[in-house]
Structure 1
Amino acid sequence: DGIEDGQLVAGTVVQVNNEYVFVDVGYKSEGRISRDEFASIPEVGEEVKVVIINKEGKGGQIVVSKKRADFKERTDELKAAAESRSPVLGKFEKVIKGGFEIDLGGEYKGFCPLSKADVVRVEEPETLIGVTDYFIIDKFHGGTKLKSVVNRREYLDQKIKENKEKFFSTVQIGDVVEGVVKSFTSFGAFIDLGGFDGLLHINDMSWGHVTRPKDFVKKGQVVQLRLINIDPETQKINLSLKHMQEDPWTTFEQKYNVGDTIKAPVTKITTFGAFIEIEPGIEGLAHISELSWTKRVNNPKEVLDVGDVVEAKVLGYDLDKKRVSLGLKQLEENPWDTIVERYPVGMTLSKPVVKITNSGAFVNLEEGIDGFLHIDDISWTKKVKNMSSFCAEGDVIDVVVIRVEPDNRRIRLGVKQLEGNPWQTLRHDYPKFSTISGVITNVTDFGVFVKVLGDIEGLISKYNLVGPDEEYTDEVLKKFNVGDPITAMVVECNPTTQKLSLSIKEMVKRSQQSEIAKYIHEDDDSDTFSLADMMRYKDEDREDN
């Protein structure tokens, strides 16, 4: 016979009906097992293990149990696993005080503390119910009562360590790896690669502009990513979603040329310009200076908003640095190209003052184009010290265009040029060594200022206030008073430097020379008449008188 009660034996399924499974265990009769004892009904010819309950049952029928066999087998498996700390399969059945009840199979139940259910803190225990995974048996009890203690966290830690070691030893930069989106940060997303994380940085999500990581991947999503950096020492892993596609810069020159016009959205605005997405992965910069020919743009936000779809011209590009220069103003006519024709030198205008500075005033000629009136171009003769004493913002003044510089985008205006230059008139009417009359306007320790024709002031230095035969003393200046009329000789008149120098000394000197010449010409018959003769003749005249 060789079969004893309580023995675990292997049998062969010989028949299956609606209620029972019949098993041949090599005894004189076949064992009959209720279908309820099977998790799945076996096929005829399949081998199953059973425990002999009674080899001589009622009517000589052998009694066997599949359920008892499963329990015995599971007992041996769990005992061996507990001794070797090998993982066993279990299922989270329900939440109980302090943790979970785990179905270990074969009627065995185990207790898993909440702290040992996962490698991370379990915030919602109910989410684990129904999960089947492996556990390490910390404490085994042979009965069916809930006394065995199991640990899933230790198994997960071991598995993560194995997965990580395998990952770092087998993968290379450029490989495609699969992971699950675990969590998000402001700078990207963490990807679970099997219990350890890799970083998908926001800059590596797309060749295009990325504002929100959640627009490209979702939590819990299974994604394939390319490995772009790995460091075994720091255990850092960098992944890329954009490198799953071709870099758009590689085909840039096939699509775009300098001078092309593109239509695209503004993605970012800075103080120095606006970034425009030509296509996903390629952004161009429209510098603040390329936004308008005429408007004074202090900040691009004054004329653009993020999301605006604009037309721009490709001004240049650098594939190595991945930069594209764009311009918006190039799609409009440059008003400075025709500025000389529209505002020729000599053109007179009546225009408003828009800004006052220490050195002059800006006068608006048309939208975006101002001319500059320098403080020195207000009067030929008067020294204007403060621009606000001549005009104020908003005043409409008469000006004349005196210089146009299209390349530098400058227009110079003048007020004094509306009239003739009195300095030129003075030099023409009163050449050097001519006498001129005026009125004393100021007496200083270095000379006398005299106002002459055209409100021009000239200076007679103190040493030129006396005749050529006289010596200057401080008493000389006391003879001159403000408001007194005076006549002197012009010795220098320079319209460029606006300098007028006068001299009484030179006037007296030349008057004397003229007198001498007069006497010389009156005595044409005397070939020996000299200066001494003339002086003696004059002395005789004085004695006679």
Structure 2
Amino acid sequence: MNENNPIASQVEQNTNLEAQSQTVDVQASNEQQTQEQVQVTSEQTAPIEQQVSGEQQLVDEASQAVSGGSQVVSQTESAQSETVLSQPQQETALQREQRRNKRARLMQAFAEVKAAFQENKPIEVNVYARVRGGLRVFYKEAPLFLPASHFHLRHSPTDEELMEVVGKNLLVMVHEIQEYDEGSMAVIVSRKKLLEEEFWNNLKVGQIVEGKVSSVASFGVFIDIGGAEGLIHISRIAPYRIDNLKEHFKIGDTLKAVIIEVDKENKRIGLSRKELIDASTWPATEEKYGVGTKHTGIVRRIVDFGAFVELEPMVEGLLRTSEISWTKRLRRPNEVLKVGDKIEVVVTAFNAEKKTISLSMKRLQENPWPTLHEKYPLHSIYEGKVIQVVAQGCVVSISPELDGFLPRSKMKKILKGNKIPLKQGDKIKVYISEIVPEEESVILGLVEEEEENPRQENPKRQPNPKTYETKPLSSGISIMDMLSDQEKENLLKSLKK
């Protein structure tokens, strides 16, 4: 420093101060991130401007009092040095402190998350945003991820359901933690376990629930009642019999049911619809099912004497075997019907008091008996097939539409004692013996071979014409000699006969 020239000395000091200020600024910028560097650079401008102003002031003061210049320079140097050095150092320390505090809070939050995971305890998080695959949530300072598949008991919630919870707090369980070498941590949380516990704890026997049909099996119907499936067994579907569930229910149908069993350990729920259906009220009315009304029904049960036909839920009618066909002699209805068949019927009787309906199939068609003889004349011959053998005779089918009865009295020539020598499936030739429209009956006769083709006489059993020889009398005159020629011819003819 040049002591003889205060102004030059002051300029040299100012230059040194600028160098010191730049050195301090470089050190601060190396410790801070890029954003802090920009802030420090802007803050360096203020001390430099203060230095320039200070230089002008020192020049003025030096012209007034040179002797006091050194003291003024010394005071100015100290003040400027403090201004240049202390301000950046104070802001950098504050930012560092904030950064350290934020990291400390983050590490504390992750530590609490890890402890909750180890102790299997729930934590409360705030939903920050809807992101791909789920939700971004925060536990205090710690960012976490809630997958969509763990948001609800259902596997795939809708996007609307996910958006509705943004900004809200949720209770979750820590599902998985992955720690990395650099100290960072990825955490996946889930709501499933908490929702499952809440769901099963709230289920009570006797509670009425509602859900959509998720599948239909031969033994029952499964419905989704809020993330878990319950089974309505076929025996609990209704107070009436249902044989084919797929004809009554389909996937997506909404049903109400009563909880009859809760097995939390095996995650099973038993349901029933019987209790929700009033079986005491018969839905059939005479107005709807009066005599002569026609309906489409489903064969639900087959018995020896007929078939029960479902006309609507809780409404069945009886179709007796005799009411199936006008002209076929059926032993049992399963010869032409099977369970599940859809058939057209007409009501022949309705009794509201007994809750019974009688049905007929054949009466949907015109009665053919009054004119049957025109199509099947008496004594016309047919090749028939034995379809049933009974003690009184045989039932014989003579066409796809007509069966007749061949009684024992028409089989005398083939009977072997009391046994009928025919069996089911035998083919025989019969003729129409009688038609009785009042009894809806056709009586058949057995065509014997000699009746169809008159029997030819056996030549071995036919008598041969005899040749008579005349012997002469002892006198040489025979009787023939005593007859005329006409008498001889007549006698010979009588002998030949």
> Higher strand share goes to which structure?
1
TM over 0.5: no
Which is bigger in relative contact order (C-alpha 8 A, separation at least 6)?
Answer: 2
TM category (shorter chain) comes to 0.3 to 0.5
TM-score (norm 2): 0.44
Between Structure 1 and Structure 2, the one with more helix by share is 2
| TM-score in terms of structure 1 length | 0.41
Select the structure of larger CA radius of gyration.
2
